[in-house]
Amino acid sequence: MLAQKENNTTTEYLLEVPDGQDSEIRLDKYITSFIQNATRNKVQNAIKDGYVWVNGKHEKPSYRMQPGDKIEIKLPKPPPPEAEPEKMDLDIVYEDDDLIIVNKPVDMVVHPAYANWTGTLVNGLLYHTQENLSRTDEETLRPGIVHRLDKNTSGLLVVAKNDVAHQKLSKQFAEKTAERTYWTIVWGNPPDSGTIRGDVGRSPKDRKIMTVRPDGEGKSAVTHFEVMERFDHLALLKVKLETGRTHQIRVHMQYEGYYVFGDVTYGGASVRYGPNTGSRKQMFNNLFSMITDQMLHAKTLGIVHPGTDEFMQFESDLPPEFEHVLEMLRTNCKPNLSY
C-alpha cells in the first residue's frame, strides 16, 4: 500500500511490504514499481543520497525486502529554475568591479539548495548587485559563489562578479594559495599546535552528516591548528585549512575529541569534559540556551586580486555570541594547568 503527502519542500511516500511478499525483490526495484514516473536510476540515487529509510534505517539499493518492512521516502522537490533577487541587509567588507568580500552571519545558507530555496546569501547578493554576478558553467543557483561556509558558520567569503574573476579566484582555492583562518572554541585540552589528517566523506550511518573515512573512501582533508587561549577543559583555536571539505573543521575536531563548542550535529552542545555540577553546569546550560549555533568563525581571508594581481588580506570581527562565550569562559573557567 502506498501513502503520499506533499509539503513545501518534499514529496513523501510511505510503503509497507505486505505478508506473503517475495523476499527476493530488491529495495530499488520495489520502490520503482510503486512510484509513478520513477526510474530505477533515480530511485537508486535517492537511496544513496539518504532520502529512503527502511524500518528507520538507511539500506543499500540491493537490500532484499521482507514482509512487514516499512519504507519511508522523502524526495526533495525540484529547485526553481534560477535564484531570485531578494532585498536584505548584507555586511559588505569590500567591493569593486570584480569581486565582493562579504561577512556572512550565522544561520544563513550561502546558496539555494534543498529546503532553502530562498533567503540565502546568493538571493541577497543578486539584489545588491542588480544580478551582476558570475555565471560560470551556466550556474543558475550559485552565481558568483567561489567557495562556501556552512549555514551555522559565520565569517568571510569572496564572491565573483564576472566569469574571469571567478575562474582566477577558483584556481587560487583549488591550488591552495588562498589564505583562510578560522577561530573556534573547542572542548578538551589540545596540544599547543597540531595537524589533523583524515579523509572526509558522508557517514554510512547517516548521509546528512560527514565523518572521517578510511583511506580511499572520502576526500583527502588536512587541518592545521594552534591554541591561542586556554580555559578549564576548553580552548580557543586558530585553524588553517589546507583543504575545504564539507564540515571539515567540525568533523576533524570531533575525530580528535575536540568538539566545537555548541555544535549540535557533531557533539559539542553539551559538557564534554570537566565537572558538570553546580555553578559550572548552570553557566554552560545558560550558554547553550543563549547561543544560536557553534562557535566557528571564518576570521581572515587572503587572496590575490583577479584584476590587479595584488595580494589582499581581510579580517572580520567575531560575532557578538562568540565574544560573549569567550567573556564567560575568561571570567568563569580559568585554565587548570595541572591536567
Question: Do 224 and 279 form a contact (C-beta atoms < 8 A)?
Answer: no
Work out the average pLDDT over 111-121.
Answer: 83
Of the ranges 26-40, 201-215, 217-231, the best mean pLDDT one: 217-231
pLDDT at 198: 95
Q: Is the pLDDT of residue 121 over 60?
A: yes
Beta-strand relationship, 234-241 and 154-160: unpaired
Cell numbers for 72: 519511508
Question: Do 70 and 14 form a contact (C-beta atoms < 8 A)?
Answer: yes
Q: Is the pLDDT of residue 261 over 90?
A: yes
Between 9 and 216, the higher pLDDT residue: 216
36 CB-near residues (< 8 Å, 6+ apart): none
19 CB-near residues (< 8 Å, 6+ apart): 67, 68
Question: Do 30 and 67 form a contact (C-beta atoms < 8 A)?
Answer: no
| pLDDT tens for each residue of 56-105 | 999 999 999 888 899 999 887 766 778 889 999 999 999 999 999 999 99
Determine the Cα–Cα distance for residues 262 and 326; give it in Å rounded to an integer: 13
Indicate if 92-174 has the same CATH topology as 2-76.
no
Determine the Cα–Cα distance for residues 258 and 235; give it in Å rounded to an integer: 9
Work out the average pLDDT over 151-180.
Answer: 94
pLDDT at 82: 81
Just list the catalytic residues: 150
pLDDT at 137: 52
Question: What is the domain partition of the chain in residue ranges?
Answer: 2-76, 92-174, 179-332
DSSP string, 51-71: -EEETTB---TTPBP-TT-EE
Between 33 and 91, the higher pLDDT residue: 91
Work out the average pLDDT over 211-221.
Answer: 91
Closest by alpha carbon to 231, among 195, 283, 180, 293? 283
Indicate the angle between helix axes 278-290 and 320-332, nearest 10 degrees: 180
Work out the average pLDDT over 121-144.
Answer: 85
Determine the Cα–Cα distance for residues 66 and 17; give it in Å rounded to an integer: 7
pLDDT band of 136, cuts 50, 70, 90? low
CATH T-level assignment (fold) for domain 92-174: Pseudouridine synthase (3.30.2350)
β-partners of residue 241 are: 223
Q: Which CATH class is domain 2-76?
A: alpha beta
Q: Is the pLDDT of residue 338 over 70?
A: no
pLDDT at 123: 94
pLDDT at 339: 44
CATH T-level assignment (fold) for domain 179-332: Pseudouridine synthase (3.30.2350)
Mean pLDDT of the chain: 90
Q: Which of 132-141, 149-158, 258-267, 273-282 has the lowest mean pLDDT?
A: 132-141
Work out the average pLDDT over 298-314.
Answer: 97
Determine the Cα–Cα distance for residues 147 and 162; give it in Å rounded to an integer: 15
Work out the average pLDDT over 295-324.
Answer: 96
pLDDT band of 25, cuts 50, 70, 90? confident
Cell numbers for 280: 559550572
Work out the average pLDDT over 134-160.
Answer: 86
